[in-house]
Amino acid sequence: MQLLDGNKTSKQIKEEIKTDVAKHVADGYRPPHLAAVLVGSNPASQSYVNYKIKDCSMVGFKSTLHELADDVSEKDLLILIDELNRQEDLDGYIVQLPLPKHINEDKIIQAIDPIKDADGFHPTNLGRMVLDLPTYLPATPYGIMEMLERYHIDTNGKNVVVLGRSNIVGRPMSILLSQKGNPGNATVTLCHSRTENIKEFTLNADIIIAALGVANFLTADMVSDGAVIVDVGINRVEDNTSKSGFKLIGDVDFDNVKEKASYITPVPGGVGPMTRAMLLKNTLHAYKRNYLNKED
């Protein structure tokens, strides 16, 4: 068994981005600029955004954080988004999800200018992804594809099972892995909460992407020997031995599944760091296309 180490791989990617940015700044151009909009005081969201700000500093990006109260109106949030869309020195930005229940997330995502959509969630970018056109990919699936490529995981003709059908991970993942390319060219089955006899599908899988949001859902008896396991889940469970009172575990029963897997991602330290690295990469793409006026 070999770990698919997201911490190590994302560090390599950030070093590459840092080198690229330094060259452009040395040539007299401004650095890339990524902004984040944080609504409310969700501890997990706050922590995640803080990591993103540190990532920006590490690679030489300018970063801006817009913090709004839990009770901010949808109208006021849309006003801020319009301002960010029109800000000339801003290459990309994200609106941290989830949002408070009184705000329509779909409406907010659709208000983001597609050319500044660092998360890759806008319908225009998702549509371009489906058509295999240049675009900003959803950050988590993008990170998984990058990890599979850098670890030389062969997906050509392989049976892949994706567990979960969210617009953020499951559906984009199934599309990317079925497209022509490397990684890609896989035969993909998308399973979800209504799929009957999921075990029959997973036992036939060469690669499993677990993104259901259910702690320890994928157990060892559901996995064939030598399968590649990518765990997207991040679940908080009580842990009396921890200072925080909880620990993070994935959708995969890691301790038991690792005995059968050829490759497996840990939680934490697997997909999460790759997602953050891809936000930087999407922003760098936007910077080059829309400020430097050149393709990568």
**Which residues have a catalytic role annotated?**
52, 96, 119
d(CA 12, CA 40): 33
Report the number of secondary-structure helices (H) and strands (E) in the chain: 10, 11
What Å distances lie between residue 52 and 131, 256, 281, CA to CA?
29, 32, 12
Q: For residue 81, say whether it is annotated as part of any ligand binding site.
A: no
Q: For residue 166, say whether it is annotated as part of any ligand binding site.
A: yes
Q: For residue 234, say whether it is annotated as part of any ligand binding site.
A: yes
Tokens of 260: 């059968």
Q: For residue 164, say whether it is annotated as part of any ligand binding site.
A: yes
Contacts 24+ apart (CB under 8 A), 249-252: 249/215, 249/216, 250/210, 250/215, 250/216, 251/163, 251/210, 251/211, 251/212, 251/213, 251/214, 251/215, 251/216, 251/217, 251/218, 252/210, 252/216, 252/217, 252/218
Residue 287: phi and psi, rounded to 5, are -60, -45
CA 194 to chain centre: 24
Angle at 130 between CA 127 and CA 135, to 5 degrees: 65
Binding site listing: 164-166, 234
Binding site listing for NADP(+): 164-166, 234
